[in-house]
Structure formats: structure tokens, C-alpha cells
């Protein structure tokens, strides 16, 4: 009887294909497939390494979770400075909702996190999209909070619905209303 020997301990120098990027990529694929964050054991099994090898690259599961969510949110649309701000904000919102739809467990994961890495990525993109408005700090904070709450509610509704009656095409009306109000407040 042959017993498959587990790879234990720290990954071996350059012969190992394991890296923080490989771990993050595999975790994202499993998350997309299963709709939730994979366990360290499942991730290790998919990578064909001992679970402790993952801890060589990430101090704990929260550190891995942070890296995965920041990587995913980093894939959303990056607004361009010279384009109309309404167009850029629309593209950002649509991209964010598509990401949340593509990874069903991502929103719940982000909302449960204590770190702010993924939120900082979205805030930076929001600031790029709305730079032309030159929002003061209070208006920026309120506008950002309202938009994030609306998008998260929309994502939850998309996730909970039966059928296809709700989609990102229906975002245009409410988002247009939001942008018109935001522009008036900024003037």
C-alpha cells in the first residue's frame, strides 16, 4: 500500500510553486466556485500542500482574507480623471456590483471584516470618479456612505431574488438621481 507523503514545513526555495499570489489566486477561485471563503484545509488541499505552509505566507486566516478581498476589490473599474464624472461613477458602481454578484460570499465576508483594506480601495476609486466635484470632507463622507449602503443593499437584493427581474441595468435610474443630488450639493 502506497501512502502519499504530505509536504510539511516551510516551502522549499525556488523549487516550490507556492507563493502568496498563488494562494490568493486559488482562494479566489474556490470562493467563486463555492460562494464562501474556503477553509485553510480546503485551500491547502487544492494547492497540494500542508495547511501550515499557508501560514508561512499569511500570519492567520484574517490576513489571508484581507489579501483575497483587497485583491478582488482591486479588480473593480478604475475611473479615469479626464472623463465625465457621472460616467466614471456609473462604471465604478456597475463594476462593483458585478464583482459582488460574481463572488456571492464576498459582501458578507467584507461586512464581517474588522480591517478596512477593501473599503479603502473603493473609497480611492470613488474619489477618482468624483474629483471634478471637489467635495468637502463632510459631503464626501455622506455621499460615500450613502452610495456604499445603496450598492450593498442592491447586491443583497440581487443575491436573494428568484429569477432575473432585478439586474444592474435597473441601477441607472436611482444612480442618476443620486448623481444629480450630489452635483447640486457640491455647487
Q: How far, in Å, CA of 92 to CA of 142, rounded?
A: 18
* CATH number of 54's domain: 1.10.10
CATH number at residue 151: 1.10.357.10
Residues of the chain with pLDDT under 70: 1-16
Classify residue 137: in a domain, yes or no.
Answer: yes
Q: Does 97 map to a domain? A: yes
Q: Give the span between the Cα atoms of 148 and 95, in whole angstroms.
A: 13
* pTM (two decimals): 0.82
Q: Check residue 98 and give its pLDDT.
A: 92
Identify which of 155, 170, 90 has the alpha carbon closest to the alpha carbon of residue 125: 90
pLDDT of residue 85: 96
Q: What residue numbers bound the domain in which 29 lies? A: 20-58
CA-nearest of 70, 40, 68 to 56 is 40
Q: Is the same domain home to 51 and 88?
A: no
Residues sharing a CB contact under 8 Å with residue 148, sequence separation 6 or more, in sequence order: 119, 122
Select from 85, 91, 181 the least CA-distant residue to 133. Answer: 85
Q: What pLDDT score was predicted for residue 11?
A: 46
Q: What is the pLDDT of residue 66?
A: 87
Amino acid at each position: 500500500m502506497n501512502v502519499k507523503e504530505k509536504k510539511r514545513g516551510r516551502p522549499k526555495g525556488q523549487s516550490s510553486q507556492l507563493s502568496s499570489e498563488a494562494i490568493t489566486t486559488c482562494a479566489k477561485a474556490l470562493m467563486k466556485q463555492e460562494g464562501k471563503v474556503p477553509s485553510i484545509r480546503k485551500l491547502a488541499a487544492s494547492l497540494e500542500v500542508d495547511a501550515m505552509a499557508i501560514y508561512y505566507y499569511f500570519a492567520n486566516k484574517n490576513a489571508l482574507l484581507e489579501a483575497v478581498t483587497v485583491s478582488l476589490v482591486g479588480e473593480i473599474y478604475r475611473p479615469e480623471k479626464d472623463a465625465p464624472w457621472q460616467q466614471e461613477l456609473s462604471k465604478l458602481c456597475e463594476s462593483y456590483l458585478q464583482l459582488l454578484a460574481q463572488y456571492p460570499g464576498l459582501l458578507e465576508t467584507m461586512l464581517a471584516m474588522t480591517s478596512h483594506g477593501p473599503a479603502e480601495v473603493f473609497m480611492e476609486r470613488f474619489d477618482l470618479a468624483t474629483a471634478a466635484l471637489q467635495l468637502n470632507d463632510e459631503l464626501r463622507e455622506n455621499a460615500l456612505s450613502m452610495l456604499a449602503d445603496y450598492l450593498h443593499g442592491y447586491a443583497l437584493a440581487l443575491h436573494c431574488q428568484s429569477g432575473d427581474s432585478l439586474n444592474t441595468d435597473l441601477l441607472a435610474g436611482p444612480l442618476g438621481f443620486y448623481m444629480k443630488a450630489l452635483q447640486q450639493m457640491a455647487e
